[in-house]
């Protein structure tokens, strides 16, 4: 029998992998994809817990997380296009205008 | 039988997630991410949430990933160039392992309890998942729904303004 803990363990592994990707990769788009991975693992936790507690609120939360992720994708990718136009690179090491 | 299927899908999800963080080419990372999204959609079906599975496939694997692949194609990103700076792989591994152990520790530590609602599996199967979601969203969560529409409008305007050459 699959319990809620199984789903939460999978979500924990995916979240940790997303953390590792955000901290090590240099390509901004790959970092963005790792953030999407983390958001999705949280979505999985929300749905597993909402099913476990027999409530609908967690699934509504997932809906809003998806909305925010879509908005983030639109604005973030536009930012990356603007950055690429100015610097000819999408490497986060080149984003150092605020550095002393 | 179901548990074997679960472990199979979980294995595919984790391996695809590993591809996302290790592939050198961004296109391969994107394809791995699509695979992970499909595995999560299978999990949602197993959790009796078919509507969320459909939305996952349409919004994430459809819309967002097409947007990301489109930008990768537009910027003509190839394989990552040689390492110019060394990033702290050791510290990053330690940080992510710390996150993993923390979460696993809290999962193993106690039981999941909370206020139980009245949406049982039988009710989901007899009434229908979409209807239950719609009822909750348009009665209890009407204000957040409207705010989300404003957020999407702001995102559209922001994306257009940022991507234009001359505003």
Whether chain A has a CB inside 8 Å of the CB on B159: the answer is yes
* Test the B interface: residue of A8, A65, A80 with most B CBs within 10 Å: A80
**Tens-place pLDDT, residues A61-78:** 999 999 999 999 999 999
Share of chain A above pLDDT 70, in %: 100
In chain B, the residue whose alpha carbon lies closest to the alpha carbon of A42 is: B40
**Mean pLDDT calculated for residue range B104-132:** 83
Query: ipTM beyond 0.90?
Result: yes
| CA proximity to B43, closest of B3, B8, B9 | B9
Q: What number does CATH give the domain A4-88?
A: 1.10.287.3510
Q: Which pLDDT value is given to residue A15?
A: 94
Cα–Cα distance, B72 to B19 (Å, whole number): 17
Which three-class secondary structure string do you get for A24-77? HCCEHHHHHHHHHHHHHHHHHHHHHHHHHCCCCHHHHHHHHHHHHHHHHHHHHH
Q: Which pLDDT value is given to residue A62?
A: 93
Helix or strand run (H / E) with residue B109? helix B89-109
**Mean pLDDT, rounded, of chain B:** 88
Q: Which pLDDT value is given to residue B92?
A: 87
Chain centroid to CA A35: 3
Residue ranges of domains in chain B: 1-78, 120-167
Instruction: State which CATH number among 1.20.120.1200, 3.40.50.2300, 3.50.50.60, 3.30.420.40 fits the domain covering B1-78.
Output: 1.20.120.1200
**Tens-place pLDDT, residues B54-81:** 999 999 999 999 999 999 998 887 766 6
B67 and A55 in contact by Cβ < 8 A? no
B141 and A48 in contact by Cβ < 8 A? no
pLDDT band of residue B52 (cuts 50, 70, 90) is very high
Cα–Cα distance, B37 to B43 (Å, whole number): 10
């Amino acid at each position: 029998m699959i319990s809620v803990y199984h789903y939460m363990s999978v979500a924990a592994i995916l979240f940790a992998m997303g953390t590792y990707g955000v901290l090590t990769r240099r390509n901004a788009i790959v970092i963005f994809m790792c953030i999407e991975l983390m958001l999705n693992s949280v979505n999985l936790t929300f749905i597993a817990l909402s099913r476990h507690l027999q409530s609908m609120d967690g699934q509504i939360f997932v809906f809003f997380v998806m909305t925010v992720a879509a908005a983030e994708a639109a604005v973030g990718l536009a930012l990356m296009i603007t950055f690429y136009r100015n610097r000819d690179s999408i490497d986060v090491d080149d984003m150092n205008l605020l550095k002393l | 039988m179901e548990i074997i299927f679960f472990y199979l899908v979980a294995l595919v999800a984790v391996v695809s997630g590993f591809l996302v963080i290790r592939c050198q080419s961004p296109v391969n990372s994107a394809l791995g991410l699509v695979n992970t999204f499909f595995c999560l959609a299978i999990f949602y079906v197993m959790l009796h949430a078919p509507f969320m599975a459909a939305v996952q496939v349409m919004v994430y694997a459809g819309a967002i990933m097409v947007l990301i692949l489109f930008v990768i194609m537009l910027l003509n990103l190839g394989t990552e160039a040689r390492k110019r700076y060394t990033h702290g792989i050791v510290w990053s591994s330690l940080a992510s392992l710390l996150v993993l152990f923390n979460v696993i520790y809290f999962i193993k530590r106690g039981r999941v309890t909370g206020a139980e609602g009245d949406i049982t599996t039988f009710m989901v199967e007899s009434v229908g998942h979409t209807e239950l979601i719609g009822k909750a969203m348009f009665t209890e969560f009407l204000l957040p729904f409207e705010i989300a529409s404003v957020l999407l409008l702001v995102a559209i305007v922001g994306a257009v303004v940022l991507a234009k050459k001359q505003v």
